[in-house]
Amino acid sequence: MAPTASPPSRRHHHRPADKRQAILDSAVRLIAHSGLHNTPMSALARDAGVAAGTLYLYFPSKEAMINALYLELLEERGRATAVAPSIVATGKPREGFEMFWHRLARWHLDHPEKANLIHQCQASSILTDETRAIEQRMHAEGLANFDDAVARGTFRKISVQVFWALVAGPIFVLAQMRDTGEIEITDALLDATFDGVCRSVVA
Amino acid sequence: MAPTASPPSRRHHHRPADKRQAILDSAVRLIAHSGLHNTPMSALARDAGVAAGTLYLYFPSKEAMINALYLELLEERGRATAVAPSIVATGKPREGFEMFWHRLARWHLDHPEKANLIHQCQASSILTDETRAIEQRMHAEGLANFDDAVARGTFRKISVQVFWALVAGPIFVLAQMRDTGEIEITDALLDATFDGVCRSVVA
DNA sequence: CGATTGCGAATGAACGCTCATTCAGCGGCT
DNA sequence: AGCCGCTGAATGAGCGTTCATTCGCAATCG
């Protein structure tokens, strides 16, 4: 059944290769295309090039797999949007913010399938309480510098929640419009949006 | 099971009462609670006080039912947020906008189950092309006055898409945070958000 | 005015199918 | 040989959907 070229087998043993990652990659692609609940484990296994049973060597259940995948995507997005502390620390917090926003927007637009999966997970009721708790912790970390920035007068005096809503909300809507084919994302459109976002939160 | 007083209107036979609406109401409640795909038709029928087969007298399939429900919710939201033309026509477009925004926010916050269902439908791949097309038509109607308002200098010169992203995005994020119990919505929080939105789109 | 009949609405048990999950066995490694 | 990662056919629960049957009412008949 081995279809395409097999990877240049890991020397020493055939280890639990990056099979796990292959499974997750397939999950992202298929679920973004067919939906969380129209993607059977069998299809997932076929696409990843493993047997159905193999999935259960890496994840205890479909639900657990989705939850793990969700958290890994959040982490990946967090890494992709992290701004070096050096930039924040220097007197250019405004630039740090622009960097962050553009990275967040870019991530959602460059990885439509991953962004879509995050969206599906949030809407469906598949995420466990534990996952939600971990997510909130990550979110809190990511916005740790916010209070400092407000204190320095970088941002207007608003709560973190309002800040996040004003900053991230527009990105999510743009991403969704793009998914439905309603719009094409251009640099001009992004810049215009960022301009609006700045007016709403920057002091 | 007949709950409220039935209108005496329909002469001739016992007509299809508001059974259809009862089904849709149950759908909103159960789906918001258990998720689109963890809500079997059987549970829906039980909650609505009808037999399983009855559902198929009103809708040809589950998918068709969801699509119909989705469109009806969009219409309801459209009606709830519509601003009288008289207000728009008079020299107070700024007030018209404030009215619209607060109504949109209120609707999402006062009807968490309905808003949640809309969200779930958009994320899942259950909506048909036809439904998406109708939705876009409705959306275009709703934003018909936008160009005029820009011409009059009410709003900054931005595209409709950017406008919608900046205006609605924050509301969706707030609603989602509220659903997960992350925040409690207060008038102050809403006002702060609206203030930010105004800065981003109002000239 | 009561009995009878016609008919569409409503029922709910049954059907077929899909899908998550399991497990007995296989093949290659050391 | 012994181990281990992996396989994939088998399992059975749960779901959407169907349809033969029943129900309730109104018009018609005696």
pLDDT (0 to 100) of residue A95 = 83
A202 three-state secondary structure: strand
Q: What is the CATH number of domain A63-201?
A: 1.10.357.10
pLDDT, average across residues A73-78: 97
pLDDT (0 to 100) of residue B44 = 97
Q: Which tens digits make up the pLDDT trace of A20-63?
A: 999 999 999 999 999 999 999 999 999 999 999 999 999 999 99
CB A124 within 7 Å, strand C? no
Mutate one of B116, B193, B201 to test the A interface: name it (highest A CB count within 10 A). Answer: B193
Fold match between B14-59 and B63-201? no
For tokens 């509220």, what's the residue? B178
Residue from B67, B40, B71, B58 nearest B135 by CA: B71
What is the token pair recorded at A154? 């970088």
pLDDT, average across residues B77-95: 80
pLDDT (0 to 100) of residue A13 = 44
Amino acid letter for position B115: A
What is the token pair recorded at A107? 């991530």
pLDDT (0 to 100) of residue A86 = 73
Mean pLDDT, chain A, integer: 89
Q: Nearest 5°: phi and psi at A155?
A: -115, 160
CB A128 within 8 A of CB B180: no
Q: Which residue has the higher pLDDT, B57 or A93?
A: B57
Of the ranges A75-84, B69-78, B162-171, which one carries the lowest mean pLDDT score? A75-84
Helices (H), B82-151: 85-89, 93-110, 112-123, 129-142, 146-151
pLDDT, average across residues B189-197: 97
Torsion sign (Cα): B44, B46, B48, B51: positive
pLDDT (0 to 100) of residue B3 = 37
Question: How much of chain B, in percent, has pLDDT values that exceed 90?
Answer: 76
Q: Which tens digits make up the pLDDT trace of B150-169?
A: 888 889 999 999 999 999 99
pLDDT (0 to 100) of residue A88 = 66
Who among A35, A162, A196 is closest to B162 (CB)? A196
Nearest CA in chain B to A123: B120
pLDDT, average across residues A81-109: 84
pLDDT (0 to 100) of residue B143 = 87
Q: What is the CATH number of domain B14-59?
A: 1.10.10.60
Residue A1 pLDDT greater than 60, yes or no: no
pLDDT, average across residues A142-163: 89
Provide the pLDDT confidence category of residue B8 given band limits of 50, 70 and 90. very low
- Helices B112-123 and B62-81 cross at an angle (nearest 10°) of 130
Provide the pLDDT confidence category of residue A6 given band limits of 50, 70 and 90. very low
**Residues A132, A138, A142: CA angle, nearest 5 degrees:** 140
CB A166 within 8 A of CB B189: no
Of the ranges A115-119, B3-7, B141-145, which one carries the lowest mean pLDDT score? B3-7
Q: How far is A137 from chain B (nearest CA, A)?
A: 11
Cα–Cα distance measured from residue B43 to residue B117, given in angstroms and rounded to the nearest whole number: 17
pLDDT (0 to 100) of residue A131 = 97
Q: Give the distance, in angstroms, between residue A11 CA and nucleotide C29 C1'.
A: 12
A18 three-state secondary structure: coil
Residue A2 pLDDT greater than 60, yes or no: no
Task: Using the CB atoms, write b or e for A81-114: b if 16+ within 10 Å.
Answer: bebeeeebeeeebeebbbbbbebbbebbeebebb
> Alpha carbon B201 to chain centroid distance?
23
> Alpha carbon A161 to chain centroid distance?
19
Instruction: Return the number of other C-beta atoms located less than 10 Å from residue A150's C-beta.
Output: 18
For chain B, the domains span 14-59, 63-201
Query: Does the distance separating the beta carbons of A159 and B189 come in below 8 Å?
Result: yes
